[in-house]
Amino acid sequence: MIGDRAGYVAHVDMDAFFASIEQATNPSLKGKPIIVTGSALRHSVVTAASYEAKKHGVKSGMTVYEATKLCPDALPVEVDGKKYEYYSETAMNMLRNVSPSIAISSVDEAFVDLTYYERISGAIYKLNEFRRTLKSRLDISASVGIAANPIIAKMASDFKKPNGFTFIQRGFEQAFLESVPVSDVPGIGKHTTVFLKSHGFENVGDLLKADKFYLFKNFGNAFLGLVKSLTSHNYSREVFFQKEAPKSMGHSMTFGRDISQLEKLESIISFLGSRVVYRMRKEGYEARGIGMHVKYTDMKVSAISKKLSFHLSRISLMNEISHWLLKKIWNGEPVRAMGISCQRLRKLGPSSEQLHMFHKDRDPIQVALNMEDRFGKYVLFPASLLAATDASCISLKNRDLFNKSFGRGQISRQRHVVNVAHSH
């Protein structure tokens, strides 16, 4: 008998999620190479690709132009955020039939606590049942990894994609990791991979056999801790599966064509900033930090973060700060995409400023949120953005704001910590 009640964890990862949803909802796309993107224009960014396109080397983050050079037959499909949100919520609710304790790590993946099962065979049966139901009900697939360690579980879910199922029995972690490339370890990025290879570390097995002091001396204590954690079963399950408060909230937008007018960029960043404030207020948060990134035609990205000396929860203040940040980092070149985020979040307290003490009017943000709850997102839209922006340049649909992670790996952060004075 394999397994025990001492505890395993599963990682469930939907396969090519956005692209698979498009193929599921449009049978004519099945078996064809498709790329999901903000628009069909050549410099739009690939949000996701089907496995038929991935076989040609197409990856998320590429421009449509780059993707179609690799795969000339690729069919561009516009992002549809509402549809993906529905599929994600449905799949996660189905996953709660496997275990009442899940930790959702993104729109298409989650960890599942399996300690509720006396035997691991029961958990495996329920996870396979979930995969069958997912296919029959939503016509998409998921890959599953099971291990006694959440990091190993995540790596195992990637091992036999798509539609894979990998179980790493307790005590066999090192054998599994022996030939896994160091680049496949969560937390090891491109630059660290190059640095590791320059020291002769190609596979995880090389790291596990290495002298611990050597790793500490050359890569630091945090990296040494990561290596040790790969074969450790000692992690707090209660902490890992508890619902974590968001660390940041943000919105970004990729344009149909480049924009080089400051007035238009200010209007767009005001709109994105207002969306962030709406989200924060809807979930009951305010911020002590703000970040912005601007992506240029040549794919270079300027980014900046600021620590605030006050809590931010009002659109008027967000506009002041975002316009100031934009002028600080924009180099005057045409802009392809931009985004803004609020950081260092905390729950709104009773002392948080909502309205002027003598105002009897209702909170305008709350009024807007109530309208959106009733009539849908973007029922209220700033006229200044419509006036300043060519309609052919920006689409005003929900899906344009869904992809909030474009070019994330290309952002070279320029962090500045300051106290911003604010006077009423």
**What are the tokens at 110?**
């989650």
Phi, psi of 339 (to 5 degrees): -155, 165
Q: How far apart are CA 143 and CA 158, in angstroms?
A: 7
**CA nearest to 303, candidates 383, 217, 412, 204:** 412
Q: How far apart are CA 264 and CA 338, in angstroms?
A: 12
Q: Bridge partners of 250?
A: 341
Sign of CA dihedral 99, 105, 110, 111: negative
**What are the tokens at 246?**
């968001």
Residue 109 is a catalytic residue: yes
First and final C-alpha spacing in the chain: 69
Q: How far apart are CA 411 and CA 116, in angstroms?
A: 41
Q: Bridge partners of 346?
A: 286
**CA nearest to 181, candidates 162, 165, 167, 194:** 194
Other beta carbons within 10 angstroms of residue 199's beta carbon come to: 13
Q: Which of 22, 66, 109, 266 is catalytic?
A: 109
Q: How many residues does the chain have?
A: 424
Q: How far apart are CA 368 and CA 132, in angstroms?
A: 41
**CA nearest to 112, candidates 95, 126, 93:** 95
SS3 145: strand
* Residues 264, 410 contacting (CB under 8 angstroms): no
Residues belonging to the active site? 109
